[in-house]
Amino acid sequence: MLNLSFIIATRNRLPFLKITLEKLMADLQHDEEIVVVDGDSSDGTKAYLQKLLNEGKIHQYLSERDKNQAHAWNKAMLMAKGTIIKKIIDDDVFCYKAIRACKNVMLFNEAIDVIISNDLGSSLNNYQNIQKLSRLSQFEKWNNGLVPSFTFGDVHMLIRRSSLAYTGVYNTGYVMMDWEYSLRISYLRANIGYYTGYNALSVAHPESVSSLKNNKLVDEQGKRGCVFYEYEGDQAGISPWSKIKIAAGKALKPARAGHEKPMEGDEDPTAAYNYYYDYLLELNDSGEFTFLFKS
pLDDT, tens only, 183-221: 999 999 999 999 999 999 999 988 765 545 567 777 787
* For residue 263, pLDDT beyond 70: no
* Domain residue ranges of the chain, discontinuous segments joined by +: 1-90, 92-152+162-295
Residue 62 phi, psi dihedral angles, 5° rounding: -135, 135
pLDDT beyond 90 at 56 = yes
Band the pLDDT of 238: cuts 50, 70, 90. Answer: very low
Contact residues for 47 (Cβ-Cβ < 8 A; gap 6+)? none
pLDDT surpasses 90 at 225 = no
Contact by Cβ (8 Å): 161, 5: yes
Q: Helix 270-286 vs helix 96-108: angle between axes, to the nearest 10 degrees? A: 50
Q: How many residues does the chain have?
A: 295
- Determine the pLDDT at residue 235: 52
Residue-wise pLDDT tens digits, 143-154: 999 999 999 999
Beta bridge partners of 130: 122
The answer to whether residue 251 scores a pLDDT higher than 50 is no
Residue 52 — pLDDT band, cuts 50, 70, 90?
A: very high
pLDDT of residue 236: 45
Residue 113: CB partners within 8 Å, gap ≥ 6? 159, 160, 163, 166, 167, 185, 190, 191, 192
What is the dotted CATH code of the domain comprising 1-90?
3.90.550.10
Q: Is residue 262 scored above 60 in pLDDT? A: no
What mean pLDDT do residues 78-97 have?
98
pLDDT at 266: 53
Average pLDDT value over all residues in the chain: 89
Locate all alpha helices (DSSP H) within 62-131, ordered by sequence.
Answer: 69-79, 96-108
Q: Tell me the C-alpha distance between 80 and 3, whole Å.
A: 10
Encode burial over 1-40: b for 16+ CB neighbours within 10 A, e otherwise: eebbbbbbbbbebbebbebbbebbeeebeeebbbbbbbbe
Question: Could you tell me the pLDDT band of residue 120, with boundaries at 50, 70 and 90?
Answer: very high
Mean of pLDDT values over 236-243? 49
Q: Pick the range with the lowest mean pLDDT from 41-55, 151-165, 209-223.
A: 209-223
